[in-house]
Amino acid sequence: MQEMANSPRYISIEGIARHFDAPGGGRTTVFEDVWFPVARGEFVCMIGHSGCGKTTVLNILAGLDLPDGGVAVVDGEAIEGPSLNRAVIFQSHALLPWRSVLGNVAYAVSSKWRDWSRAKIEEHAKKFIALVGLAGSELKKPAQLSGGMKQRVGIARALSIEPKILLMDEPFSALDALTRGNLQDEVRRICLATNQTVFMITHDVDEAIYLADKIVLMTNGPHAMVAEIVANPLPKDRQRHEVHKHPHYYALRNHLIDFLVTRSKTFKDEIPADYDRRKPPVVSPVAQPLPVPPPATKRAAA
Amino acid sequence: MHSWPLQARASLVSMLILVVLGLAWHIGVNTGGGTGQANIDPEYAKLIGAAANTGKSAMPGPLDVLAKIGQHLKEPFYDRGPNDKGIGIQLAYSIGRVLLGYGIAVLVAIPLGFLIGMSPLMNRALDPFIQIMKPVSPLAWMPLALYTIKDSAISSIFVIFICSLWPMLVNTAFGVSSVRKEWLNVARTLEVGSVRRAFTVILPAAAPTILTGMRISIGIAWLVIVAAEMLVGGTGIGYFVWNEWNNLSITNVITSIIVIGLVGMILDQMLARVAKLVTYPE
């Protein structure tokens, strides 16, 4: 299929499935026939309960895992393995503990640009360490950093290779609320500034509302599927401490919570007639207009 | 007293224990066997020589041992024929054999351990051999080595090689196979080649475990060299101990025990230093 550079299908997940050997014989199908697109420059979050295969989808996008069926396409090419074009921010930060902050970021930089001089590698790495606000901590070892600082290094490492796609697996779930908020702000700022294409796994509804342009809703596993894709109705220039004041906020939040609480379980049993796995419905929950008072009364009052 | 740092207090207690043990030893040696020659068999008296005539025990006191150590320190490297070499020369022979056998074992065990650790197939395939060979006393290899190599010096080096091999092999394989998957995934997402991955991720990640194996091995090698040299004879600290037993020089035997302990400690501490360098806090 020929794809245009600005196609809404910059990343295209096409019918992927993944099975695992079940304990005691047999196979468990975690998810099957999953389809969804990600446009260039879009920030997409995937939400679902544990066991729906979110992390597996991300690993397939990273090239760390391969689907048993279907294909994941990026920029017109099927993913066959890991690539420096797709950077991963791991949930557990995954820093190499024997390397300093600079060493960890420089390791990624030197992997991408193998012919660069040491000075050039370090200069490039320092730029990204400064970008995540860690200037001055270059020579510290990961063990000397707090959880939030470690994840900042993980973010700097991923961004330093200037990837086409940033993949994040619950990157903030291990952090305290204040640190998490600050890091969300910075990730959003950096991604907006560079028009970064991002795919992120989360089970934090508020995180998805604040960060995502689109939210992919996965039903419960096994046999998980994409129920729908929620287009975020909030304005692009939203501020974290003001999103909850927006008129559409509660409509969106209630929609997501409803899905996680009930529809993620029941969706499979009551699939709408016009549901097409290849084109999951895109919905955009907005605030219902206030009920209009009966015309008669209104006229009398006027 | 309480304001003293723990290390200083520990050192003081160590000194006290040393003095108490030394005194007990001194008193024990000088008061026992003072009942005269009457109880001593004349044949035995002939054997143990002068000690029988004075009624003094052949067991030396701490001062005798100290004097002997001083004497060895003054002239550690003299060589007056095959049966009379300085303790320094004997130690040098033993250390040389240990380092040679151990060095070859390092060169074999670490690459082989890498292979076993990286390949689940090789891990399982070689496991029965390792499990059976590991508990064999290295001295059991001695006759086989003597028969095939036909050289006692090289045979003892071979025995050191065999006994050093297993702990390093097992630890390297374990360290390599238990490198955290997330670190390997980092290397994979960065498209790091397998050689670079081995040196930049797996080796530093497994280094503390490998060094633990190397420390266990050097300890075992130093234990085994004494026994091996008693068996094959000729030179080395093990031969020296046995020769001095035949000379009935208990003073030299005790001196050797102290010296063997000191050298073993130094070998272990050297590797502990290296281990400290490669250990990373998580």
pLDDT of residue A67: 94
Residues of A in contact with B211 (CB under 8 A): none
pLDDT of residue B248: 84
**CB distance B282–A98 less than 8 Å?**
no
Q: Nearest by CB to B280, which of A81, A83, A97?
A: A97
Residue A172 near residue A206 (C-beta atoms within 8 A): no
Instruction: Look over chain A and give the mean of its residue pLDDT values, rounded to a whole number.
Output: 90
Residue A293: pLDDT band by 50, 70, 90 thresholds?
low
**CB distance A64–B182 less than 8 Å?**
no
pLDDT over 60 (residue B19): yes
Max mean pLDDT among A49-58, B33-42, B196-205 falls in B196-205
pLDDT of residue A22: 84
Average pLDDT over residues A76-96: 93
pLDDT over 80 (residue A10): yes
pLDDT over 80 (residue B277): yes
Q: Nearest by CB to A98, which of B180, B182, B204?
A: B204
According to DSSP, the residues that pair with A37 across neighbouring strands are A12
Q: Nearest by CB to B185, which of A64, A81, A161?
A: A64
Mean pLDDT is lowest, of A76-85, A117-126, B29-38, B267-276, for B29-38
Share of chain B above pLDDT 90, in %: 68
Average pLDDT over residues A230-254: 90
Instruction: Look over chain B and give the mean of its residue pLDDT values, rounded to a whole number.
Output: 89
**CB distance B205–A107 less than 8 Å?**
no
Average pLDDT over residues A119-135: 94
pLDDT over 80 (residue A294): no
| pLDDT single digits (tens) B244-257 | 898 888 899 999 99
pLDDT over 70 (residue B40): no
Mean pLDDT is lowest, of A66-75, A96-105, A232-241, B26-35, for B26-35
Q: Nearest by CB to B280, which of A82, A98, A111?
A: A98
Residue B48: pLDDT band by 50, 70, 90 thresholds?
low
Q: Nearest by CB to A82, which of B188, B280, B281?
A: B188
Taking the Cβ of residue A88 and every Cβ of chain B, the question of whether any pair is shorter than 8 Å is answered with yes
**CB distance A94–B201 less than 8 Å?**
no
pLDDT over 80 (residue A120): yes
pLDDT of residue A1: 42
Half-sphere exposure of B136 (CA within 13 A, CB side): 16
Residues of A in contact with B192 (CB under 8 A): 111
ipTM for the complex? 0.86
pLDDT of residue B1: 53
**CB distance B189–A112 less than 8 Å?**
no
Q: Which residue of A has its CA nearest to B180?
A: A94
Query: Residue A29's closest CA among A158, A205, A221, A277?
Result: A221
d(CA A213, CA B133) in angstroms, rounded, equals 62
**CB distance A97–B186 less than 8 Å?**
no
Q: Which residue of B has its CA nearest to A141?
A: B281
Residue B202: pLDDT band by 50, 70, 90 thresholds?
very high
Angle, CA A12 vertex, CA A64 and CA A276 arms, to 5°: 120
Average pLDDT over residues A218-231: 91
Parallel/antiparallel/unpaired status of strands A69-74 and A11-21: antiparallel
pLDDT over 70 (residue B2): no
pLDDT over 60 (residue B55): no
**CB distance B201–A108 less than 8 Å?**
no
Q: Which residue of A has its CA nearest to B204?
A: A98
Q: To the nearest whole angstrom, how far is the Cα of A59 from the nearest Cα of chain B?
A: 10
pLDDT over 90 (residue B33): no
Average pLDDT over residues A57-84: 93
Question: B257 or A295: which carries more pLDDT confidence?
Answer: B257
**CB distance A87–B182 less than 8 Å?**
no
Mean pLDDT is lowest, of A250-259, A277-286, B12-21, B48-57, for B48-57
Q: To the nearest whole angstrom, how far is the Cα of A239 from the nearest Cα of chain B?
A: 33
Q: To the nearest whole angstrom, how far is the Cα of B174 from the nearest Cα of chain A?
A: 19
pLDDT over 90 (residue B54): no
**CB distance A84–B192 less than 8 Å?**
no
Residues of A in contact with B180 (CB under 8 A): 94
**CB distance A82–B191 less than 8 Å?**
yes
Residues of A in contact with B181 (CB under 8 A): none
Residues 138-197 of B with CB under 8 A from A: 180, 182-183, 185-186, 188-192
**CB distance B185–A94 less than 8 Å?**
yes
Average pLDDT over residues A248-253: 92
Q: Which residue of A has its CA nearest to B196?
A: A111
pLDDT over 70 (residue A7): no
Residues of A in contact with B188 (CB under 8 A): 63-64, 81-82
Residue A301: pLDDT band by 50, 70, 90 thresholds?
very low
pLDDT of residue B249: 87
Mean pLDDT is lowest, of A283-297, B1-15, B49-63, B67-81, for B49-63
Half-sphere exposure of A122 (CA within 13 A, CB side): 8
3-state secondary structure chain B: CCCCCHHHHHHHHHHHHHHHHHHHHHHHHHHCCCCCHHHCCHHHHHHHCHHHHHCCCCCCCHHHHHHHHHHHHHCCCCECCCCCECHHHHHHHHHHHHHHHHHHHHHHHHHHHHHHHHCHHHHHHHHHHHHHHCCCCHHHHHHHHHHHHCCHHHHHHHHHHHHHHHHHHHHHHHHHHCCCHHHHHHHHHCCCCHHHHHHHHHHHHHHHHHHHHHHHHHHHHHHHHHHHHHHHCCCCHHHHHHHHHHCCCHHHHHHHHHHHHHHHHHHHHHHHHHHHHHCCCC
Residue A214 near residue A42 (C-beta atoms within 8 A): yes
The encoded tokens of residue B250 equal 């208990």
Q: To the nearest whole angstrom, how far is the Cα of B58 from the nearest Cα of chain A?
A: 57
Mean pLDDT is lowest, of A5-9, B210-214, B250-254, for A5-9
pLDDT over 50 (residue A2): no
Residue A175: pLDDT band by 50, 70, 90 thresholds?
confident
pLDDT of residue A4: 46
